[in-house]
């Protein structure tokens, strides 16, 4: 089996965690690789026995004993990482840090980045971007301006670490004003302790993983929040398409799997054409209103926007559709296939030039004034979504710990790679493979045919 | 999408990393160490002491030593992640007064560089540091024998416990999948422990000597190379009678040890103990029940020395056993 890249074709929250967990439960996955975002990811996995974890910097295959590799494209937050590892240990994952490797080139998010991010969002008042308040974007912006931005590899060199952290503190204080953050000494100490515990590796580590067996690349956020193609400025400082993963893969082929819900959701500010308060009846156990992101909104399946996401990505080979139980809960829920922009009807959002942020901002203005034109309810949701987005649906799930079903779709004519049918058949692992003290559990999932 | 759900408090993060360092699987061993850590070196040790104090007036010494040779596969690493929970479990259940735990490891003195590693009796989480410093040699002789007899010799002659002064026995748990050699070899004792011993000692004699002051148990875990090997079980049975337990689920090692002690102390019966486990949400009940049923029958048969019953804590277990 080749590798799989999992991205969210919406605004995040589609269920990537669930999908990655199922992929890891159903076959022998070598590692889950993160290729964008940082600690603001929140991928919920609920096991059949009720255990629940919100995966932020650990990959969503952790419950299955699958190691996580955080690549150089991930922004690392050592403080949030410690809290997350402690929770995983409390849930019975024997040694969470043993399952983790981090590439030395990854940027470090610091408490000053976080404080500066929150101070800036407060000043925007009503014009908030919908940031998560964790300073991921601030960290990326700082690194673009300052080549000496602290990176994971620096924690092994106490002198350089202290210099670089002090520079973050000084520059951000100069730009934003006094920051609510812990002392430099405390941060140096805890970042050093982080370096003593986690395995920091160079770029060759990933090559070894890719050779060892199938890897699952777990995307964060969603394509509609992409830094270049999202509705600027309500975007994330991260490339949310397949491109980072493809850069990491080099010439190794991978199946591109897009994830959507049967309806569209959005956290935080920004245009959301199909938003409909009537859909608020749909349960959302794990996404409340964040202090920084604003409320969680629900809307009809926005086929126009999700198709735009597919085009921006350069196509997908297969789809996973989650929350297949939602249509039965809300009879008014439907698929939106065209927009009314005030200047006429359209079923396609044009793709701009990469890097043309003023163009993306004009798009944001248009979308704010746009309303759904056609909304209909299909009989076969998974089939209809596959047809609208032009790729076979190979995985369908309903409620977070409910049943999942796999089905093989017909080969998608546009797919340049082998037809995905189901996650790989289990490979036997060579004895002595570093698997740690984990026993893999098959997902005890009741498989039912979907959409039949 | 973000929630800011995980605390970014700098102090609790520091605490978590500190704890993880203590827990990080055999940090000393993984750092490439191939020599016994000074804190675990038996050579030249007069005694390992288990003392009463105002805080711990009725100390109960408990030694847990496990085989770290190659035939054990990943078992030693799993034990390292599980065993730190033993103290908390014993304290919560009140099966035994003032437990003091010593961790150690057994190799093969005929060919390993680190044939014996022995920590101290500790009544707090310092015992975890000893665990983390254990070298996993992964060697062994490939002949179904390890130097358990050398470990038993050390525990028989180099431990000094207040419990023994009051006529109370301590506990020794040996976890492994192989057999002791037939004799304690004087040459190995001189080399590894440093005692000027000139005569070999038959293993039966050293077992008898150790059992005067300690209850001795053998645990044979699944997942090791010789798990379920009938010869090994029979030979161990000859040495230790009913104190030989098979462990189906390594995850239940702490519960098995705790209940074994409770059964022996008479502070809990098997059914009650299994109910206790269920109370705290442990899924280890079936495994532990299977492992301990023979012992429980034996305890019932031979009767127990009458002891003043300990006050049992309320069955409302606070917290839960992590499995």
Q: Is residue B73 part of a domain?
A: yes
What was the pLDDT predicted at A292? 53
pLDDT at B230 > cutoff 60: yes
Q: Alpha helices, DSSP H only, in A53-157?
A: 78-90, 111-124, 136-145
Q: Is B11 on the interface with A (CB under 8 A)?
A: yes
d(Cα B149, Cα B178) in Å, to the nearest integer?
Answer: 12
Which one of A235-249, B8-22, B87-101, B307-321 scores highest in mean pLDDT? A235-249
pLDDT at B281 > cutoff 90: no
What count of Cα atoms within 13 Å lies in the side-chain half-sphere of residue A142? 30
Q: Is residue B3 part of a domain?
A: no
d(Cα B232, Cα B58) in Å, to the nearest integer?
Answer: 36
pLDDT tens-digit series, residues B71-93: 777 777 777 777 877 887 788 77
Q: Is residue B318 part of a domain?
A: no
pLDDT tens-digit series, residues A36-81: 999 888 898 888 777 889 999 999 999 988 999 999 999 999 999 9
d(Cα B222, Cα B79) in Å, to the nearest integer?
Answer: 12
Of A98, A133, A196, the CB nearest to B4: A133
Q: Would you call B25 and A291 a contact, using CB atoms and an 8 Å cutoff?
A: no
Q: Over the Cα atoms of chain A, what is R_g?
A: 21
Return the percentage of chain A with pLDDT > 90, whole number.
60
Q: Is B78 on the interface with A (CB under 8 A)?
A: yes
pLDDT at A431 > cutoff 90: no
pLDDT at A137 > cutoff 70: yes
- What element of type H or E holds B10? helix B10-23
d(Cα A135, Cα A201) in Å, to the nearest integer?
Answer: 24
Instruction: Count the residues in chain A.
Output: 452
Mean of the per-residue pLDDT values for chain A? 84
Residue range of the domain that includes B38: 8-301
What was the pLDDT predicted at B236? 82
Q: How many structural domains are present in chain B?
A: 1
Work out the minimum CA distance from B251 to partner chain A, whole angstroms: 10
Q: Would you call B18 and A187 a contact, using CB atoms and an 8 Å cutoff?
A: no
**DSSP-derived secondary structure for B11-74:** HHHHHHHHHHHHHSTTHHHHTT--S--GGG--TT---EEE---SS-TT-EEEEEEEE-SGGGTT
Chain B residues touching A134 at Cβ < 8 A: 2, 4, 8
Q: Is residue B322 part of a domain?
A: no
What was the pLDDT predicted at B185? 94
Average pLDDT of the segment spanning B9-17: 84
Give the residue among A385, A314, A319 at the shortest CA–CA distance from A351. A314
Is pTM beyond 0.85 here? Answer: no
Query: How many other C-beta atoms can be found within 10 angstroms of the C-beta atom of residue A447?
Result: 11
Q: Is residue B312 part of a domain?
A: no
The CATH number that applies at residue B233 is 3.40.50.410
Which one of A69-73, A249-253, B93-97, B270-274 scores highest in mean pLDDT? A69-73
Q: What is the torsional sign of CA A372, A378, A381, A385?
A: negative
pLDDT at B32 > cutoff 70: no
Q: Would you call A83 and B8 a contact, using CB atoms and an 8 Å cutoff?
A: yes
Q: Is B30 on the interface with A (CB under 8 A)?
A: no
Q: Is B81 on the interface with A (CB under 8 A)?
A: yes
Residue B140: band (very low, low, confident or very high) from pLDDT cuts 50, 70, 90? low
Binding site of A for GTP, by residue number, is 297, 323-325
d(Cα B165, Cα A423) in Å, to the nearest integer?
Answer: 64
- What element of type H or E holds A175? helix A158-176
Strands A254-261 and A3-8: parallel
Picking from A156-160, B208-212, B273-277, which range would have the lowest pLDDT averaged per residue?
B273-277
Q: Is residue B217 part of a domain?
A: yes
Q: Considering all CA atoms of chain A, what is the largest pairwise distance in Å, rounded to the nearest integer? A: 65
Region of B303 on the Ramachandran plot (φ > 0 left; ψ -120 to 50 alpha; else beta): left
Strands A215-218 and A3-8: parallel
What was the pLDDT predicted at A49? 76
Name the β-bridge partners of B174: B65, B218
The residues of A annotated as belonging to the active site are: 13, 43
Chain B: residue whose CA lies nearest to A437? B78
């Amino acid at each position: 089996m080749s590798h799989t890249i999992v991205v969210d074709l919406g605004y995040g929250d589609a269920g990537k965690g669930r999908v990655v967990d199922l992929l890891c439960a159903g076959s022998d996955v070598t590692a889950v690789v993160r290729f964008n975002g940082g600690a603001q990811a929140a991928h919920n996995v609920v096991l059949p026995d009720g255990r629940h974890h919100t995966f932020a910097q650990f990959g969503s295959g952790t419950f299955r004993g699958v190691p996580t590799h955080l690549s150089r494209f991930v922004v690392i937050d050592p403080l949030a990482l410690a809290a997350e590892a402690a929770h995983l240990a409390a849930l019975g994952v024997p040694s969470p840090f043993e399952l983790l490797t981090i590439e030395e080139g990854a940027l470090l998010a610091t408490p000053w980045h976080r404080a500066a991010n929150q101070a800036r969002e407060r000043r925007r008042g009503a014009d908030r971007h919908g940031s998560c308040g964790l300073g991921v974007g601030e960290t990326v912006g700082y690194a673009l301006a300052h080549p000496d931005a602290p990176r994971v590899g620096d924690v092994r060199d106490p002198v350089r670490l202290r210099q670089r952290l002090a520079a973050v503190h000084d520059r951000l204080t100069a730009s934003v004003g006094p920051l609510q953050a812990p002392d430099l000494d405390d941060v140096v100490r805890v970042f050093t302790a982080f370096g003593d515990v986690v395995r920091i590796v160079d770029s060759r580590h990933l090559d070894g993983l890719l050779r060892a067996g199938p890897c699952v690349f777990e995307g964060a956020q969603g394509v509609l929040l992409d830094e270049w193609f999202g509705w600027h400025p309500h975007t994330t400082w991260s490339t949310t398409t397949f491109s980072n993963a493809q850069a990491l893969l080099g010439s190794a082929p991978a199946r591109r799997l897009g994830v959507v819900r049967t309806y569209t959701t959005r956290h935080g500010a920004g245009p959301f054409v199909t938003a409909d308060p009537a859909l608020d009846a749909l349960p959302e156990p794990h996404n409340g209103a964040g202090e920084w992101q604003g409320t969680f909104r629900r809307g009809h399946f926005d086929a126009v926007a999700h198709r735009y996401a597919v085009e921006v990505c350069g196509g997908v080979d297969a789809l996973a559709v989650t929350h297949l139980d939602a249509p039965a809960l809300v009879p008014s829920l439907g698929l939106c296939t065209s927009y009314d922009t005030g200047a006429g009807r359209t079923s396609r959002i044009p793709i701009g030039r990469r890097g043309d942020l003023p163009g993306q901002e004009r798009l944001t203005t248009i979308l704010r004034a746009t309303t759904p034109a056609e909304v209909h309810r299909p009989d076969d949701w998974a089939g209809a979504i596959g047809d609208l987005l032009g790729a076979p649906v190979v995985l369908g799930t309903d409620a977070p710990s409910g049943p999942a079903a796999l089905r093989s779709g017909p080969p998608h004519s546009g797919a340049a790679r082998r037809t995905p049918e189901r996650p790989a058949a289990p490979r036997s692992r060579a004895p002595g493979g570093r698997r740690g003290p984990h026993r893999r559990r098959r997902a005890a999932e009741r498989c039912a045919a979907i959409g039949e | 999408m973000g929630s800011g759900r995980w605390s970014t408090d700098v102090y609790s993060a520091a605490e978590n990393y500190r704890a993880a360092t203590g827990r990080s699987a055999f940090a000393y061993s993984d750092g490439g160490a191939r020599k016994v850590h000074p804190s675990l070196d038996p050579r030249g040790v007069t005694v390992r002491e288990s003392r009463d104090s105002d805080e711990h007036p009725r100390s109960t010494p408990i030694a847990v030593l496990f085989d770290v040779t190659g035939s054990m596969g990943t078992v030693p690493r799993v034990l390292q992640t599980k065993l730190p929970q033993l103290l908390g479990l014993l304290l919560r259940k009140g099966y035994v007064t003032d437990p003091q735990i010593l961790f150690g490891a057994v190799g093969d003195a005929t060919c390993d560089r680190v044939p014996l590693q022995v920590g101290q009796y500790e009544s707090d989480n310092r015992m975890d540091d000893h665990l983390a410093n254990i070298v996993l040699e992964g060697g062994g002789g490939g002949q179904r024998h390890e130097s358990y007899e050398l470990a038993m010799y050390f525990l028989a002659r180099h431990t000094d416990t207040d419990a023994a002064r009051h006529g109370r026995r301590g506990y020794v748990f040996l976890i492994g999948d192989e057999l002791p050699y037939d004799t304690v070899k004087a040459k190995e004792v001189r080399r590894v422990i440093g005692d000027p011993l000139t005569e070999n000692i038959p293993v039966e004699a050293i077992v008898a000597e150790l059992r005067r002051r300690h209850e001795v148990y053998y645990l044979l875990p699944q997942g090791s190379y010789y798990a379920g090997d009938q010869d090994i079980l029979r030979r161990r049975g000859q040495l230790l009678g009913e104190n030989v337990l098979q462990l189906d689920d390594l995850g239940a090692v702490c519960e098995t040890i705790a209940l074994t002690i409770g059964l022996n102390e008479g502070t809990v019966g098997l059914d009650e103990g299994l109910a206790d486990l269920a109370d705290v949400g442990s899924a280890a009940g079936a495994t532990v029940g299977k492992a301990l049923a023979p012992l429980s029958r034996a305890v019932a048969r031979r009767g127990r020395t009458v002891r003043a019953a300990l006050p049992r804590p309320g069955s409302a277990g606070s917290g839960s056993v992590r499995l």
